[in-house]
Structure 1
């Protein structure tokens, strides 16, 4: 695949049924599924066994993320990305619909994940897209817990009493670093940007059982090594939701995310200073653009991959909110 022939790409979502999933990704964001429990749409993934394939444009339809990386890694990912991660696609992009509250969980950092799972760790961020009345997330504990307090709460079944619920509304942003206890609450739809990892340590699952009456596995002992009882950073991100200038959300060593609130006739996105690929997640509204005589339409709940070798695109017919993600 010659770099001169690379184009912006829309990948086919990989849809995941979950015990806590609903139907909003179908009804509100046009994901094609008959499921009544659609929990996740993996928009861009190189997780083994779950590798994304192109949906548009037609000339690349069916080609996988791996195909591009194998044939033109630097033009596709960017020289900086390749030097850091080789032929690994380092970020996983998702939309999530929580009809029920997810398990209370946390993620390992790079060191633990490499040692125990031969994987990246899991640093992630959330952008809240839609909420039901009284929607919330769980992040951290209400007050400081010692390791012994935590173990006792698990043994007594009183962990829920210690969890901090935070009301949320569309546009809220949270940065979830490894070790932070968290859960997405019922009635929340969000965009998630994370390291390429599918490792989660569940510590409580609301005593849920599946159709066969089985509880999901908990990871009590693994979590004890990874948990952070005193987060040393601000996990709710403040920014100007009404700004017409790009707003910095989360810039960490794994990804950099900006918020673009666009409501103009034309908007040139200039990536001449970027060394790597860019991903646009459309979290509200829609936009169009033409590239090499191909017309693209990107709607709410869709994701666009822009290869590193493409240095600008001009958006039109816009009224949209985008998460602009780079490295």
Structure 2
């Protein structure tokens, strides 16, 4: 019996992190004990595969669904990345403490672990405490030699560009950009489906096992884009109901922010699946065959063949897809 396409919701894979907390409970998510820094909401990565929690496909991992339905459900551009995995990884992040200062490689970096891709990503700030900030790039005129020298002298923080943040800020972080979320921030992250991170600096603090976490100095110095990889930022709070604002665009993902007040119709295309991240509010997601209540913190994968759908209620939504070639 064939199954008609429907919006898929997944059981999140929760990750304990030294910098995590309990803030994701505010979205109604069930957290295991400990400092939970990451909720992998939609993932087809060996380090955390999410399973469908609604409808006829309940219990199946995203990897199984993708292999079973291929481009029919995931689109001609969204069926798989070059490494054969689902193209994107969707996370919610609770930064109760500062993350390590880090950088991600590009797809063509020769030191990539087997099966991994590079990692271009973007952040949407869901909430930020007063005075919250992030690290976003290096200061001007910084090169590998100067950065290496600063590290030898214990002056890494003097080389970094700090940016104050507030809810509604969006940051595009191409591979090669030095970055770190800092304490007091809760964010949604849309990224290439990769788990490769090179730590440049970690505040000399112990990890969950009580030992200093590994740094990746040589890899970091090699993959940093010293003359800017194309990082960009914007505040997105001025959009009105019914508007869709592009907040990140790359060859890997297109992310738009929309404000729903009442109802709005849209449709998927044969090119790509659509992922909806509910950033604020609550409402209803409807399609030809049914409906699903939605609320802040929930994420849905809409198959490319779903067709027309409607969002109604009072919602702030991030809409993600894979762009055509």
Q: TM-score, normalised by structure 1?
A: 0.92
Shift of residue 270, structure 1, vs aligned partner: 2.2
CA 1:23–1:113 in structure 2 vs 1: closer, same or farther (change >3 Å)?
Answer: farther
User: Deviations 1:42-90 (Å, cap 9, x if unpaired)?
Assistant: 0111111421101123x32211112222221122211233376485201
2:45 paired with 1:47: yes
- Greater helix proportion: 1
Residue in 2 that maps onto 1:9 = 8
For 2:213, which of 216, 221, 224 is the aligned residue? 216
Q: Is the 8 A contact 1:171 1:241 kept in 2?
A: no
CA distance in structure 2 between the aligned counterparts of 1:91 and 1:42, rounded to whole angstroms: 11
Q: Do 2:120 and 2:175's aligned partners in 1 also have CA atoms closer than 8 Å?
A: yes
Contact 1:73 1:87 in 2 (8 A): no
Query: Is the contact between residue 239 and residue 248 of structure 1 (CA under 8 Å) also seen in structure 2?
Result: no
**Residue 289 in 1 paired to residue 288 in 2?**
no
Q: Mark the runs of 5 or more structure 1 residues left unpaired by the alignment.
A: none
Alpha-carbon contact 1:114-1:121 (below 8 Å) kept: no
1:120 to 108, 117, 129: 117
Task: Note if contact 1:68-1:76 (Cα within 8 Å) is conserved in structure 2.
Answer: no
Partner of 2:296: 300
Please say if residues 168 and 235 of structure 2, whose CA atoms lie closer than 8 Å, have aligned partners that are also in contact: no
Deviations along 1:78-117, one digit per CA (max 9) or x if unpaired, are 1233376485201000000000000000000000167554
Q: Which residue of 1 aligns with 2:305?
A: 309
Q: For residues 199-254 of structure 1, give each alpha carbon's deviation from its aligned partner in whole angstroms, at most 9, with x where no partner exists.
A: 00001001111354300000001111101122153421355632331111111100
1:323 and 2:322 aligned? no
How far, CA to CA, are the matches of 1:163 and 1:83 in structure 2?
35
Q: How does 1:195-274 map to 2 (within 5 A)?
A: 195-210=192-207, 212-237=209-234, 239=236, 241-244=238-241, 245-264=243-262, 266-271=263-268, 273-274=269-270
Aligned equivalent of 1:157: 154
Structure 2 counterpart of 1:82, from 79, 83, 88? 79
Q: Which residue of 1 aligns with 2:178?
A: 181
**Counterparts in 2 of 1:114 and 1:182: CA distance versus 1, 3 Å:** same
Cα distance in 2 for partners of 1:300, 1:177 equals 27
CA contact 2:122–2:189 (8 Å) conserved in 1? yes
Partner of 1:99: 96
- Seen in structure 2, the aligned counterparts of structure 1 residues 115 and 312 have a Cα distance that, compared at 3 Å, is same
Match of 1:61 in 2: 58
- Tell me if structure 1 keeps the 8 A contact 2:168–2:237: no
The answer on whether the counterparts of 1:258 and 1:324 sit within 8 Å (CA) in structure 2 is yes
Say if 1:146 and 1:93 are closer, same or farther in 2 by CA, change over 3 A: same
1:61 is paired with a residue of what secondary structure? coil
